[in-house]
Amino acid sequence: MFLALIIVSCGGSSKDNSNTGGDDNGTGDNSSDDSGDDSGDNSGGNGGSNDGGGNSDAVCGNRTLETGEVCDGGAKECAEIDSGYTGGYAICKADCTGWDKSSCTGTPTNPDDGDTDSSTDPDDGGDAGNTNPGTSDSSADADNSDPRDDADKINYIHLKGTSISVDGKNVDVSGTTATITASGVYEIDGTLSDGQILVDVDKDKDDGMVHVVFNGMNVTNSKNSPFAVMGAKDVRIFIVKDTQNSLTDAANYVFTDGADEPNAALYSKSDLKIAGYGTLTVKGSYNDGISSKDDLDIDGGTIVVNAKDDGIRGKDSVVIRGGNITVTSGGDGIKSDNTEALTLSSNEDDPYENVKGYIKVKGGSLTVTSTGGDGIHAISYIEIKNGIIDIQSGGGSIIEATSGSSGGWGGGGGPNGGAQQYSGTDSLKGIKASIPSTVTDYENINMNMVYIKISGGTVKVNARDDAIHSGGNVEIKGGQIEAASDDDGIHADNELYIINGTVNVTNSFEGLEAWYLTVTGGVTSVFGRDDGWNAAGGSDSSASSGGPGDWGGGHGGPGGGSSSTGYLTISGGIHYVKTGSGDVDGIDSNGTLTISDPAVIVVECPISGGMGGSYDADGTTTLTGTKMLGFSTSRSERATNYNVSFNTNNYYGTQNVAFKPTISGNYMQSVQGQQPSQINDVSGYTAQTMPNGVVIYYK
């Protein structure tokens, strides 16, 4: 089983906290133990532990286990489900009908017990990272086959500056416009200085694939789009290896007969696929760069997009399986925004089968610079399973978080010790999934359907707004994530799960924030200028393009006093948390707080004024983890406080966990009976180098 370790460094928030367990007598011995550090039960730990008792109208997502539900949110150890499992954690399915066991290790004794059946996406080769199955792309493997290899007939379109010639059939030429009128394979070469390539096939009479081969073709249009699919069932563009191809549109379009399309440099009213090995450069001076009103799949090619508004848009979906993609946009970088198909089906094996407005990244390299919008924006959900992703949105983070010693961080405080955050009205998030407020019942749809799931790949986000933001849930099951933000590092309006993977939040207002925050594994480093981790409180004050501006939804009433029903539960992984100075908290729950073995946690919290500190909670606090430490300049509201003077030159800790702090102070936190002190020899500990460079030692 994965050993969890958490280190926190933080300050406190000013609030009335009835827990008296944070007091100490200043002696530094066990007599100063927090009397309340392990009081209460673990009711907030694994969601769905309450007995809903006899309610026949079960509501999935209300965190109460009711008749007809196997679970209602949360996670539990796989061994609790089946004794054959040797490790891992299972997550409650989105429809509350059972546990997703895709992260469980070992061999179950009852693999077909019905209520623990794991769900995998049939299109991804059984990717264990997916718990919401059956979306519409058909293969996880990129298809970069050349359609000319198997073609009975190739039709050639030759562009000759101010004229067009055709060698083949089913191509109508009128001046400098060529229109493809039937399915088949069409190869285009040459340059057209002011013209247009159209695909216009009656799909009711001809439902075959239209293959368009770009073999060194360059088209510019001074009045409209240079390439547009106005009709066809499916269109596939293949970019020939070692060729340079370009599409450049007009800054102002001239429409006829009241039309408003095409409205992108590469435009399609049909499903569009892009594949190959050559280079395609798209300049969208009027609106979008590449836009499909249906599904958009990218399997390969070097694709460079510069757009006035959105860079790449697939209204129904965007699926990226390969390629080397660079997007510079004035609006969103990559976007899917169908708001008309947001209802889950009754199909237990595939509740998302009819949902549109999603984005999947399964491979390739993706670099996005969005100056006036979000980097990646989907209405319903986002899945990242592989690939290399680098996003900068809104100019990136500009609020300073200065480097500290030993690879840590410091600074970041605002005037008078208050942390600064992004407060603009534009949504400038790195990765966002959220239903806009123009959709009826958008808050409930966000909470019950919307998610961001990262199970692999490398993701780097530098955002003026939240780096990763979901109007519903965020689930991290793998991959490597690096995030910098002037607002939240990773934010979920509902639930945030971290099960595996590596997370490094290098700068943020609050590093991890959700109403329900469950961490069962992974290796994380988080710096928050305010709180490091925050659950069940606060608000997302930055813009979300009509999505919930506050917590919203039916989860205990965000922003509402001391009766919060949210929680923060840590039961695995290795974690380091550091805050800025001021009225700040390292790990903060405005609901319940539960920390248990085998989690490893180290917190550094240079609090100056206020209350809170390394560990803070408004609700029931259950601290049984024997591998948790806190370093602070004042007492912590939760955990056991010890008067131990520490500096940046030595190691400090307990028999179970040790750390060389990057700040100096006089208070350390641990659990009752785990007296911290200076550690002279760490050779007997296991060393874990954290994503930000600091090293945690644990046993």
Is 693 found in the same domain as 630?
yes
Does pLDDT of 405 surpass 60? no
CA distances, 191 to each of 197, 199, 525 (Å): 12, 18, 52
Out of 118, 137, 162, pick the residue that ends a domain. Answer: 118
Under 8 Å between Cβ of 198 and 226: no
Is 21 found in the same domain as 55?
no
Is 65 found in the same domain as 18?
no
Under 8 Å between Cβ of 356 and 297: no
Among all chains, which residue has been given the structure tokens 């489900």?
81
Is 51 found in the same domain as 101?
yes
Residue 82 lies in a domain: yes
Is 691 found in the same domain as 602?
yes
Does pLDDT of 472 surpass 50? yes
How many CB atoms within 10 Å of residue 27? Answer: 10
Can you tell me the distance from the alpha carbon of 452 to that of 477, in angstroms, rounded to the nearest whole number? Answer: 11
Is 660 found in the same domain as 578?
yes
Residue 507 lies in a domain: no
Listed in sequence order, the residues at least 6 apart from 657 whose beta carbon sits closer than 8 Å to its beta carbon are 5, 7, 600, 602, 627, 628, 629, 685, 696, 697, 698, 699
Under 8 Å between Cβ of 534 and 489: no
Q: What is the mean pLDDT of residues 179-200?
A: 98
Residue 694 lies in a domain: yes
Out of 118, 140, 156, pick the residue that ends a domain. Answer: 118
Q: Residue 113's pLDDT is what?
A: 55
Q: Residue 54's pLDDT is what?
A: 37
Residue 186 lies in a domain: no
207-248 confidence digits (pLDDT tens): 999 999 999 999 999 999 999 999 999 999 999 999 999 999
How many CB atoms within 10 Å of residue 402? Answer: 11
435-467 confidence digits (pLDDT tens): 988 898 888 888 888 999 999 999 999 999 999
Does pLDDT of 44 surpass 50? no
Can you tell me the distance from the alpha carbon of 334 to that of 368, in angstroms, rounded to the nearest whole number? Answer: 8
Q: What is the mean pLDDT of residues 662-666?
A: 96
Q: pLDDT category, 313, cuts 50, 70, 90?
A: very high
Residue 328 lies in a domain: no
Ranking 7-16, 147-156, 268-277, 480-489 by mean pLDDT, the lowest is 7-16
Q: Residue 419's pLDDT is what?
A: 58
Q: Which of 502, 469, 462 is nearest to 485 (CA)?
A: 462
Is 62 found in the same domain as 12?
no
Is 107 found in the same domain as 23?
no
How many CB atoms within 10 Å of residue 581? Answer: 23
Both tokens of residue 387? 């690939």
Q: Residue 416's pLDDT is what?
A: 31
Out of 118, 153, 175, pick the residue that ends a domain. Answer: 118
Question: Quick check: helix, strand or coil at residue 150?
Answer: helix
667-677 confidence digits (pLDDT tens): 999 998 899 99
Is 110 found in the same domain as 10?
no
Q: Residue 421's pLDDT is what?
A: 83
Is 626 found in the same domain as 688?
yes
CA distances, 266 to each of 174, 294, 316, 378 (Å): 20, 13, 16, 20
Top-ranked range on mean pLDDT: pick from 57-71, 338-352, 655-669: 655-669
Q: Which of 650, 642, 631, 461 is nearest to 6 (CA)?
A: 631
Q: Which of 413, 424, 411, 504 is nearest to 464 (CA)?
A: 424
Residue 138 lies in a domain: no
552-582 confidence digits (pLDDT tens): 333 333 333 334 578 999 999 999 999 988 7
352-369 confidence digits (pLDDT tens): 999 999 999 999 999 999
Can you tell me the distance from the alpha carbon of 650 to that of 669, in angstroms, rounded to the nearest whole number? Answer: 17
Q: What is the mean pLDDT of residues 590-611?
A: 90
Q: What is the mean pLDDT of residues 260-286?
A: 97
Q: Residue 4's pLDDT is what?
A: 47
Can you tell me the distance from the alpha carbon of 516 to that of 478, in angstroms, rounded to the nearest whole number? Answer: 20
Q: Residue 582's pLDDT is what?
A: 79
Q: What is the pTM of this model?
A: 0.81
Q: What is the mean pLDDT of residues 100-120?
A: 63
Both tokens of residue 517? 């925050």
Residue 692 lies in a domain: yes
Under 8 Å between Cβ of 387 and 364: yes
Domain holding 577, by residue range, is 5-42+566-698
Is 113 found in the same domain as 17?
no
Q: What is the mean pLDDT of the chain?
A: 83
Q: What is the mean pLDDT of residues 284-307?
A: 98
Is 30 found in the same domain as 114?
no
Question: Quick check: helix, strand or coil at residue 333?
Answer: coil
Does pLDDT of 46 surpass 90? no
Residue 550 lies in a domain: no
Q: Which of 55, 127, 125, 129 is nearest to 91 (CA)?
A: 129
